[in-house]
Structure 1
Amino acid sequence: MVAITNTTSLTFLKEAIDSTLTEAENRLEAFSENHSLHEELTYIADSFQQLRGICQVVELPAAALMSEEMGLAARELRDKVSDARIQALGNAIVLLTRYFDYVQLKNRTLPALLIQGLNDLRQANGKALIQESHFFSADLSVARTPPAKVSELKRSEMPALARRLRHMYQVGLLGILRNQSAKPNLKLMARALARLDKAAGPCGMSRFLWVAQGVLTAMFSDDMAITSARKALLSQYDRQLKGLVYGGEQAFDAEPPLLLVKESLYVVSLSQQQSGVVDEIKTAFSLKNSITDEELQRELALMTGASGSVIRSVASAMREEIAELKHSLDMASQGVADTNYQQVGESLQRLGSTLSMIGKDEDAAAIKQRGAEVGKWSADQSVEGEAFHALVDDLLTIENVAANLERSLAPEDDVHRAASNSSISLYQLDEARMTVVGECRAGLALAKRSVSSFMDNNWDAMHLSNLPGTFASIAGGLMFLELERAKSVTESCHKYIVKQLIEGTSNPTREDMETLADALTGVDYYLESMEEQKPIGDGVLEVAEESMKALGYPVNKVA
């Protein structure tokens, strides 16, 4: 018998496969209505066992594994019946049907497209999840290239440093697990591993720290999807760090699990980056992948029919309509053109209907009433009258409703404080805040560059002479933003730089400078998360406070 190896040959078997899946779906539906029909499950299990054989012949390993899992799930349903298991099997049938359609139309297999479906089915049946790299292979015996540089830090000092850097990593990990802003959290985690890798030097854990940095760098730079499998991978990294904290000096000579390395290499292989640590890892392990993570997520969306945020779309549409209304009213107030108030009234009615759809019934009723009134205005309506100003106030109220659907600024009490005053445009307030945040971040970037120049030029304090004024500007900005905790951290950094680096008589160690950079970076990441309107939380500031405490300049706690 000649093996069918070309996926286009699936066409000859597609009709039979579709018939099998449709019949299995119908029989599963019959069983869901009458759990005594065990013969239906037997038919389903046998059908998927046959389908598994077909998938092996046409070399579709992911579909073969899915068929096998579905057959096992059907048999297990006879003993452990539950609606969740039935639904999981039904979802798997739909997904596998779409996968065969995808393979036939695209002429590419992409086994990774079925990983999540496989795990959903296994989870429903109480089985361990398979790795995202299940269908990926790499030579795991490759050594780190180039090797780690020798560290200046004593091995006896490593567990204490590992404890602080693990806390830094955990702050970022917690943000990832809570689905907070990904980029600042990933950068924080990557910095923690980079610092630990630099301090550890050549050791058994060196290759793991190197590869893990590559994963975090790839996820950050490529804006990769944060899937449940990748959250689990990042959590496994934390368990390795825990071993370094509590295992003593010898823990650094241990070798990490090879499966952890394999899963990490798979993520790196999906990256588009061609430089830095990602390129080093790709070159060392000869990693090649026919698809990037961006393409993979796009193909997944095509196959599963994923859609974007409805709420965000609604808010965006409201914002555009409000902008057009504001423009019309602005033209009317300047007497530049005659305004068609009937169209304005119709727009207000549409906005009212949108508000009703999202549950803002009180605002909806008010704006619809206003729309009915405005629709009766004549072209020479007075723009100085009370009615016109009331319309402008109503528009501002709707604008703030739309803004509150989109925005999520930190800290939360600022949102509540601004939202309590409907006379302030939240969009304009956000713009003002972001301008100040940007200026503060620019000041922190200048501070870090100055400290770096100070180190590179034999501890020449001249490179720090501009920092007192810079920190005064940063403090002023943080005071305006009412971020007292972040302000306290920068004040401690300022005090350390003046007392120890500018006025001090002895040179600091490079480890001290790295610790100072940790504190400045923590505040920077906190502000970066505000720019993205996805707050990272105060945990990153706690890490910054620990860094300053380690330098002997503890932060004054904010009441």
Structure 2
Amino acid sequence: MVAITNTTSLTFLKEAIDSTLTEAETRLEAFSDDNALKEELEHCATAFQQLRGICQVVELPAAALMSEEMALAARELLEKVSESRIQALGNAIVLLTRYFDYVQLKNRTLPSLLIGGINELRRAGGKPLIQESHFFSADLSRQRNPEAPDTEVSRDELAALSRRLRHMYQVGLVGILREQNPPTHLKLMARAMARLDKAAGPCGLSRFFWVGQAALMAMAADEMALTPARKALLSQYDRQLKKVVYDGGQALDENAPLLLLKESLYLVSLSAVQDGVIGQVKQVFDLKNAISDTELQRELSLMTGASGSVIRSVASAMRDEIGELKQTLDLASQGVADTNYEAVADSLSQLGSTLSMIGKDDDAAAIKDRSAQVRQWPADQSVETDAFHALVDDLLRVENVAANLERSLAPEDDVHKASNNTAISLYQLDEARMTVVGECRAGLALAKRSISSFMDNNWDAMHLSNLPGTFASIAGGLMFLELQRAKGVTEACHQYIRKQLIEGETAPTRENMETLADALTGVDYYLESMEEQKPIGEGVLEVAEESMKALGYPVDKVA
């Protein structure tokens, strides 16, 4: 069975979803201006509830939960108007809109991105907040391995030691709450937890001590973001240590709350570290999170930061400025006229300011230094000097910064791939790839026309004589695009056409020809989605592979 991804389904529903959220935002603003317009709010509640159903169908659990919270908030506003809740609901509409954009463009769901928005709605309604690990799952029945070593510390001695170790932990916690050198304070807290684990030996809290120190070490090693939820978790750790101090053996024999354990495991799963106690915990609980905390915070910043239109405007302005500079330098290299390098320096300085604004400080410093040098150049500056070539290299680097800025908002498809060659323009590389996509689609269209003529003319193989060369061109293009799976399908099609249609002695059935068309159409649809920058996933390629398997020419699996 072919799996249709949530991204694929979302592509078809995106326009309707955007329209629903835009209308809901307009109606909420109308209600905010005049609280008597309750029918506007009723419409919002209904729209959010319908949106929840759509999110469940396309398997976006975080969006479904947020839509449900939005519907509840809208209904509760009908009974009691609250400005804070209206504001939270408006923020939720904006955030959910951006989340749908993110899922479609980046081809990943990351439910954690909506935790903050969901909690803002719940906080405004006076409800308990959901955990950061709400959408995370782990088998909490598993026991620690290796087991806690036997201790030489008696329970009486442990009472005094636990008090001292809790104080060590609290010193670190105070530093965290004051945001003073978090990594060092986290290491101090981890040491306190590890010491207590060793002193307590096998006991009910043993697993908590083990997982807790792994979470603390992970936060320190990866320099994880210290969000309010994570600071609250560290405070919950302290409450467990407080029980040990005041209740002694009774507290040690109890198990820590499972939610506390789950939240700790979630943090461990976000760590890039694979050895030590972190690695042990990951192995025992089979933690295989596909994203690190650094990536998660970057994606959250991307989704909640400047809107796509603003970023695209900045990138477009940079691209235009660079284009004018390149044209000026091109004229200079041809010796057409003397060049006003002071104006060039001004443009470089402006580019440097733009780079600083978007946080590219190293690139900004380099381009500003270059601006100062260029300002001293005479009008007849030689274009054969190393300094002139260095200026061209700097412009290429800045152009690629702009390209990567636009790529951060572009679909993660097979056109906008990274390049290991930093001496090439990413814009030109993307244009080249898009040209190849067009050529491949043209080749597929020609192949389908040839096959249609073959069928309409009583299976006359003469109409297929041009296909070997056509498929060779398509294969070359797909190889350039690094689309090995699509290339495998077209090669299987080529083999079938050559052996069964051109060299074969018996005429094929109409059903076989339709199956062949299914395979070619699947590859064409995939390439079309690349042209339109609306990823549909590899489900269509799976359909194409199944079609060729049905014809007896299975596609080799890509390693």
1:286 aligns with 2:286: yes
Paired AA for residue 25 in structure 2: E
Residue in 2 that maps onto 1:258 = 258
CA distance in 2, matches of 1:250, 1:12: 58
1:110 Cα deviation after fit: 0.6
Instruction: State the one-letter code of the partner of 2:127.
Output: K
Shift of 1:180: 2.4
| Higher RCO (CA < 8 A, seq sep 6+) | 2
Q: Secondary structure at the match of 1:199?
A: helix
Structure 1 residue ranges (4+ consecutive) displaced by more than 6 angstroms after TM superposition? none
Give the secondary-structure state (helix, strand or coil) at the position aligned to 1:78. Answer: helix
Question: Which whole-Å CA distance do the structure 1 matches of 2:80 and 2:187 have between them?
Answer: 45
Residues in 1 aligned to 2:81 and 2:60: alpha-carbon distance in whole angstroms: 30
Q: Any idea what SS the aligned residue of 1:198 has?
A: helix
C-alpha distance in 2 between matches for 1:214 and 1:306: 35
Answer whether contact 2:142 2:284 (CA < 8 A) is retained: yes
Letter in 2 for 1:276: G
Once residues 50 and 14 of structure 1 are traced to their aligned partners in structure 2, the CA distance between those partners, rounded to angstroms, is 14
Match of 1:249 in 2: 249
Aligned to 1:193: 193
What percent of counterpart residues are identical?
74
Q: Shift of the alpha carbon at 1:159?
A: 1.9
Residue 77 of structure 2 is matched in structure 1 by 77
Q: Deviations over 1:204-256 (max 9, x none)?
A: 11100000000000000001010111111111111111110111222111100
CA–CA distance in structure 2, aligned partners of residues 261 and 20 of structure 1 = 39
Partner of 2:240: 240
1:45–1:74 CA contact under 8 A, matched in 2: yes
Match of residue 434 from structure 2: none
Instruction: Note if contact 1:3-1:58 (Cα within 8 Å) is conserved in structure 2.
Output: no
How far apart are 1:3 and its partner, in Å? 9.5
Q: Does structure 1 retain, via aligned residues, the 8 Å contact 2:149–2:202? A: yes
CA distance in 2, matches of 1:306, 1:115: 19
* CA–CA distance in structure 1, aligned partners of residues 82 and 9 of structure 2: 38
State the number of aligned residues. Answer: 311
Deviations 1:47-79 (A, max 9, x none): 000000000000000000000000001111122
The separation in 2 between residues aligned to 1:5 and 1:50, in whole angstroms, is 20
Letter in 2 for 1:252: L
1:44 aligns with 2:68: no
Deviations 1:332-386 (A, max 9, x none): xxxxxxxxxxxxxxxxxxxxxxxxxxxxxxxxxxxxxxxxxxxxxxxxxxxxxxx
> After the TM superposition, which residues 36-435 of structure 1 pair with which residues of structure 2 at under 5 Å, given as runs?
36-305=36-305
Which one-letter code corresponds to 1:121 in the other structure?
A: L
In structure 1, list runs of 5 or more residues that go unmatched.
Answer: 308-559
Contact in 1 for aligned 2:214/2:268 (Cα 8 Å): yes
Q: CA-atom RMSD, angstroms?
A: 2.3
Distance, in Å, in 1 between the alignment partners of 2:250 and 2:165 is 18
TM-score after normalising by structure 2: 0.54
Task: Report the alpha carbon displacement of residue 24 of structure 1 after superposing the two structures with TM.
Answer: 0.6
In structure 2, give the amino acid aligned to 1:245: V
CA contact (8 A) 1:4 1:58 kept: no
What residue in structure 2 maps to residue 26 of structure 1? 26
Is the contact made by 2:173 and 2:189 (CA closer than 8 Å) also made in structure 1? yes
**Maintained 8 Å contact 2:25/2:93:** yes
Q: Which amino acid aligns with 1:279?
A: G
**CA–CA distance in structure 1, aligned partners of residues 292 and 27 of structure 2:** 38
Q: Is the 8 A contact 2:155 2:248 kept in 1?
A: no
Task: Give the direction of change, closer, same or farther, for the CA distance of 1:306–1:289 in structure 2 (3 Å limit).
Answer: farther
Note the C-alpha offset of 1:38: 1.1
C-alpha separation between the residues in 2 aligned to 1:119 and 1:300? 15
In 2, Cα distance between the equivalents of 1:117 and 1:178?
A: 25
1:6 Cα deviation from its structure 2 partner = 3.2
Q: Distance in 2 between matches of 1:162 and 1:232?
A: 21
> For residues 192 and 207 of structure 2, what CA distance do their matches in structure 1 show?
15
CA distance in 2, matches of 1:78, 1:129: 22
Residue identity opposite 1:49 in structure 2:
Q
1:5 positional shift: 4.2
**Quick one: structure 1 residues 24 and 4, their matched pair in 2 at CA, closer, same or farther if it must change by over 3 Å?**
farther
Counterpart Cα distance in 2 of 1:249 and 1:257: 17
Contact 2:6 2:60 survives alignment (8 Å): no
Kept in 2, the 8 Å contact 1:145–1:284? The answer is: yes
One-letter code of the match for 1:196? L
Q: CA offsets, 1:138-159, max 9 Å, x none?
A: 1101111001111111112112
1:359 maps to none
Q: Distance in 1 between matches of 2:306 and 2:147?
A: 43
Query: Cα deviations across residues 467-493 of structure 1 (Å, max 9, x unaligned)?
Result: xxxxxxxxxxxxxxxxxxxxxxxxxxx
Give the Cα–Cα distance (whole angstroms) in 2 for the partners of residues 6 and 159 of structure 1: 54
3-state SS of the aligned residue for 2:251? Answer: helix
Is contact 1:149–1:201 with CA below 8 Å preserved after alignment?
yes
Distance in 1 of aligned mates of 2:277 and 2:197: 12
Hey, what's the Cα distance between the residues in 2 that align with 1:147 and 1:306? 49
Q: Contact between 1:3 and 1:57, CA under 8 Å: does it hold in 2? A: no
Q: What SS does the aligned partner of 1:64 have?
A: helix
Counterpart CA distance in 1 for 2:3 and 2:107 is 17
Equivalent-residue separation in structure 2 for 1:126 and 1:4 (angstroms): 39
Cα deviation, residue 275, structure 1: 1.0
Q: Secondary structure at the match of 2:194?
A: helix
